[in-house]
Amino acid sequence: MEIVANLSMLFTELPMLERIRAAAAAGFNAVEIQFPYEVPALQLKEELQRCAMPLVLINLPAGDLMQGGDGLACHPKRRQQFSNALDEAMSYALMVRPRMVNVLAGRLPAKVSRGRALATLAANLRDAAQAFDRLQIPVLCEAINPIDMPGFLINTPQHLQELLAEVQHPNCFAQLDVYHMARQGISTAQALAVLGKSVAHVQFADYPGRGEPGTGTLDFAAMRKALEQYGYSGAVAAEYRPSSSTLASLTWLKQPPFV
């Protein structure tokens, strides 16, 4: 099992570039970064190479989403902004070469029907999947729970599977966040029963609390068993908020079911 450190949430005691070496020293196999764009792409590429750490995932720029806004991908009036974000992500990816790129759906805009927002999201995902296909980089989309992110358009495995069916592009896949499922009472096995082979990447944190494994009640052995039963052989990324320092939170990394 390839264990990935999400450097947007782990090792935040350090500047971004220093987090890569810290993750390698701690025993992680690879890294991902939600929004790396403030770091010059060449600097990131060189540090990844120095540390021999693969970059598994980055997100497309998401506009004002993380500040409480609607984001870009499902907003009918922000198609040009999404296109600009796609161009920025492609330019960055050409240098740093992530294995995958994730598109955050965004919140349902006011006075926009769910159907219109979904059609906009599907069209934008289709454009992104086609563009990144030329770089042989898969494009992902994920379901996020509406408790932590009210108004988010894609919440459940069913929402995500219906979206992928609408996109209908062979370079568009699902990202499964185990924490966001648990927040809605959905187990990994239940999510995989819907999403199946469309899952290309997995993220995790414990529930409740979104801390490291062991701080909540999530059954990570059951998570691993479900992933293995569905033939998932990709990476699993630690995307949690450490309860203390990052290093102090890593006891799980050397214990079953992660080893």
- Say how many C-beta atoms besides its own lie within 10 A of residue 249's C-beta: 20
CA dist 152 to 71, 73, 136, 143, Å?
10, 11, 28, 9
Question: Is 142 noted as a catalytic residue in this protein?
Answer: yes
CA torsion 153-159-161-166 (nearest 10°) is -60
Which of 32, 47, 212, 239 is catalytic? The answer is: 239
User: What SS3 state is found at 199?
Assistant: strand
Question: Is 18 noted as a catalytic residue in this protein?
Answer: no
- Say how many C-beta atoms besides its own lie within 10 A of residue 237's C-beta: 26
Which of 142, 162, 166, 212 is catalytic? The answer is: 142
* Residue 185 CB burial class (10 angstroms; 0-12, 13-18, ≥19): exposed
Of the candidates 64, 79, 7, the residue with the CA atom closest to the CA atom of residue 36: 7
Q: In angstroms, rounded to a whole number, what is the distance separating the alpha carbons of residues 146 and 105?
A: 12
The residues carrying an active-site annotation are 142, 239
